[in-house]
Amino acid sequence: MKGILDKNMAKKHKPSKAGSPAVVSRRKQKARKRKIPWLWIILGTAALFFLVAVLIQKPATSQGSEIPAVQAYEKYQQGAFFLDVRSQAEWNQVHIARSTLIPLDELQSRLVEIPRDQDVVVVCLSGKRSKEGMTILQQAGFSRASCLTGGLTAWKAAGYPLEGTNP
């Protein structure tokens, strides 16, 4: 009987394999392996939502845009306000018929001269200053401002109406 009791006592005092450090460590490793795919799925989903949010916001923030000469001419025919941001001397040489001259360096102080209730197409010789002018207008709340890509050079190449001493 004593032998049987000794065996039972030995079983009770013997540490179980389920609680051994090696088994616990293996369980933790398996649990980590099961969590890794979910982590990648969550990170991938978050990245996708971020990318979609960025793409959706970009068009919403840029109300005005650069437009080609053909689209600018359509706006011209519809009565859009054409704003030339070059100098007086440049404007005297050549300009779009019915355009209004407000040099770029005066634009910020003369915003009251520009209609807010219609399309505004900003123009210069090549398109660089008109982009700056469009930005000034947009920052001042002109949501329908755009600029002519390629400027008067593109307008003239397309054969659209010009005025001045050297059209």
Active site residue: 104, 121, 124, 125, which one? 124
Q: In a 3-state reduction of DSSP, which class is residue 67?
A: strand
User: What's the order of all strands across the beta sheet hosting 120-123?
Assistant: 66-67, 145-148, 120-123, 81-84, 100-101
CA 139 from chain center: how many Å? 16
Using only C-alpha atoms, the chain has a radius of gyration, in whole angstroms, of 36
CB-facing half-sphere around the CA of 65: CA atoms within 13 A = 11
Could you confirm whether 147 is annotated as catalytic?
no
Which residue in this structure is represented by tokens 């706006």?
75
Catalytic residues: 124
